[in-house]
A and B are shown apart, each in its own frame.
Chain A
Amino acid sequence: DVKVTQSSRYLVKRTGEKVFLECVQDMDHENMFWYRQDPGLGLRLIYFSYDVKMKEKGDIPEGYSVSREKKERFSLILESASTNQTSMYLCASSSPGGHEQYFGPGTRLTVT
């Protein structure tokens, strides 16, 4: 059974804190993605990675960075959390070629 896991289901952080969200997939997928999902806006792509140490900005990269040191792990970093980064964060992976994306269960982050 394919699996994408995320380090936390719920997270509460204070403004200005550095936040790490971890994602691990066990399908040997080349592509990994970080999205945020907000009511009425749908899923928006923050960053994606198509190989180890490779990354590309998505549509809303400001305030975020990523790290992919190993194929199975893709981390999202909020350098200095702000209240407008309160959201549901979803990680996904896929094989190359525009095929199905597999999602993790999501991390609901609240920044106070």
Chain B
Amino acid sequence: RKEVEQDPGPFNVPEGATVAFNCTYSNSASQSFFWYRQDCRKEPKLLMSVYSSGNEDGRFTAQLNRASQYISLLIRDSKLSDSATYLCVVNENNFNKFYFGSGTKLNVKP
């Protein structure tokens, strides 16, 4: 069983659409949660951390549901530049270990 699971997609959406991704994690003791973005043939970069109360950064909203052990990412008013793979990342009690999902691919079309 994978530590972190994501729908690989691809999600193909038109510009301006709202799109949401979910990610589930297996260890209920997980402490920290993140969304990373990875462009084609590039390294992953932090998009946003996910806090218990939920958090928003411009068009992006991240939420955590500890009871059901999933985190979500909502992108409003999609731009062509949002096309990328979005990686869900979970950090357990040991702050030195991060678990990555295999990523959800988003294609935003004109």
Q: Say yes or no: is A26 at the interface (Cβ < 8 Å to chain B).
A: no
B95/A96 in contact, CB under 8 A: yes
Q: Judge whether B46 is part of the interface by a CB distance below 8 angstroms.
A: yes
**A43 contacts B43, C-beta separation under 8 Å:** no
Question: By the criterion CB–CB under 8 Å, are A103 and B44 in contact?
Answer: yes
Interface assignment of A90: CB less than 8 Å from any CB of chain B: yes
Contacts of A31 in B (CB 8 A): 96
Number of A-B residue pairs, CB cutoff 8 Å, is 47
Contact with B along A1-38 (1 / 0, CB 8 A): 00000000000000000000000000000010101000
Option from B31, B32, B42, B101 in Cβ contact (under 8 Å) with A42: B101
CB pair A56 B43 closer than 8 Å: no
Q: Quick check: A90 and B43 within 8 Å, CB to CB?
A: yes
Return chain B residues, CB-CB under 8 Å to A42. Answer: 4, 87, 100-103
User: B103 touching A98 by the CB < 8 A rule?
Assistant: no
- Give every chain B residue within 8 A of A58 (Cβ-Cβ): 97
Q: Does B98 belong to the interface (CB within 8 Å)?
A: yes
Q: Is A50 in contact with chain B by the CB < 8 A criterion? A: yes
A98 x B46 contact (CB < 8 A): no
User: Would you call A105 and B43 a contact (CB within 8 A)?
Assistant: yes
CB-defined contacts of A48 to chain B, threshold 8 Å: 96-97
Closest A residue, CB atoms, query B100: A43
